[in-house]
């Protein structure tokens, strides 16, 4: 009786009888554990999925990511093996090897544009001889550029204007002071300017450029992006000198592209000073115009390096207007339509 009372007083705890394990039983249990571990390892290292299995079906995020990386690595290895195999075959065949396949790019898949210019076309030559830039290309006028901004510009836009003035010779930076562009243009014409360049900004960042050729136009409006000033560039050279740079215009192939190319060319004086070794590049690719400013560095008689001076930016044409700037009654030659019916990634305009 006393023993039962003692048990109840101790919280109803009963002693567990420890079962002694015989020495010959232990290895069997360990072997069972080892087998279980092996099967687990197999399942982790080499999962056997059905052929229609997709990685996205794995619910666990970490396992899904690990599986994706593994499949990606396998694909890379397969691709590398195939490349090595093809290289061996080409080596074995020697001169009889088939020609290499040209990789598909957006540029070489471009839809042919009917307005692509043939340099020897008489009609194009006549148009260029009578357009608004003919006086410049006939060496009758020298460029003189006025660079200004939208009202109350912030520091970054002001610095961008100042750096553009060091790239374009005979450029002068003036501040708007609230003047309308329609009032600015007649003053510029009377003072012999051939261009007005207006840098617009949004939230302290330059985002637009209006380039107006004087006195008869045309006026181009560009979206500006990816502006990098000199201080923000790595491995840039010393500030540019006052020498007249060379101008390179790349890939302006259509009639519209030609007009824009001539618009940029007429910003710079006729005779570049090669002593300065400076070059301004307008490179058109998929209707984005990339501007870069470099200096040549002659290392020896055969090797030449280039050093970027900055600034750099990207332009995208929004509209081309006949005559000088007139937002209300201006006649537009071309306007960028965002949602065209025939819009395609392979159709370009410049």
> Is the pTM here over 0.75, yes or no?
no
- According to the model, what pLDDT value does residue 223 have? 95
Confidence of residue 12 (pLDDT cuts 50, 70, 90): low
Q: What is the pLDDT of residues 81-124, one digit of tens each?
A: 999 998 888 888 887 777 877 888 777 777 777 777 777 778 87
Which range (119-123, 274-278, 328-332) has the least confidence? 328-332
SS (H, E, C) the chain: CHHHHHHHHCCCCCCCCCCCCCCCCHHHHHHHHHHHHHHHHHHHHCCCCCCCCCHHHCCCHHHHHHHHHHHHHHHHHHHHHHHHHHHHHHHHHHHHCCCCCCCCCCCCCCCCCCCECCCCCHHHHHHHHHCCCHHHHCCCCCCCEEEEECCCCCHHHHHHHHHHHHHCCCEEECCCCCCCHHHHHHHHHHCCCCEEEEEEEECCEEEEEEEEECCCCCEEEEEEEEEECHHHCCCCCCCCCCCCCEEEEECCCEHHHHHHHHHHHCCCCCCCCHHHCEEEEEEEECCEEEEEEEEEEECCCCCEEEEECCCEEEEEEEEEECCCCCCCCCCEEEECCCCCCCCCCCCCCC
For domain 121-342, the CATH architecture is 3-Layer(aba) Sandwich (3.40)
């Amino acid at each position: 009786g006393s023993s039962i009372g003692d048990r109840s007083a101790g919280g109803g705890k009963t002693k567990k009888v420890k079962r002694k394990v015989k020495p010959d039983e232990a290895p069997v249990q360990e072997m069972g554990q080892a087998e279980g571990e092996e099967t687990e390892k197999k399942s982790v290292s080499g999962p056997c999925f059905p052929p229609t299995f997709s990685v996205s079906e794995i619910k666990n995020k970490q396992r899904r990511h690990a599986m994706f990386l593994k499949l990606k690595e396998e694909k890379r290895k397969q691709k590398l093996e195939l490349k090595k195999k093809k290289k061996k075959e080409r080596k074995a065949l020697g001169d009889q090897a088939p020609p290499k396949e040209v990789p598909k790019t957006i540029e070489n898949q471009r839809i042919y544009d009917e307005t692509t210019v043939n340099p020897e076309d008489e009609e194009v030559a006549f148009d260029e001889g009578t357009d608004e830039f003919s006086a410049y290309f006939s060496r009758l006028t020298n460029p003189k550029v006025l660079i200004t901004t939208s009202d109350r510009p912030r520091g970054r836009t002001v610095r961008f204007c100042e750096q553009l003035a060091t790239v374009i010779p005979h450029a002068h930076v003036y501040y708007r002071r609230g003047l309308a562009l329609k009032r600015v243009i007649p003053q510029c014409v009377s003072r012999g300017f051939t261009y007005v360049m207006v840098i617009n900004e949004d939230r302290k960042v330059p985002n637009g450029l209006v380039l107006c050729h004087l006195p008869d136009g045309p006026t181009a409006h560009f979206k500006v992006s990816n502006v990098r000033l000199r201080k923000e560039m790595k491995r840039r050279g010393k500030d540019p000198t006052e020498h007249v740079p060379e101008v390179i215009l790349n890939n302006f192939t259509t009639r519209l592209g030609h007009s824009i190319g001539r618009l940029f060319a007429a910003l710079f004086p006729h005779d570049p000073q090669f002593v300065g070794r400076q070059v301004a590049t307008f490179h058109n690719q998929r209707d984005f115009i990339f501007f870069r400013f470099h200096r040549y560095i002659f290392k020896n008689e055969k090797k030449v390096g280039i050093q970027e001076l900055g600034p750099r930016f990207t332009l995208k044409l929004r509209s081309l207007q006949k005559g000088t700037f007139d937002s209300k009654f201006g006649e537009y030659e071309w306007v960028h339509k965002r949602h065209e019916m025939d819009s395609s990634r392979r159709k370009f305009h410049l």
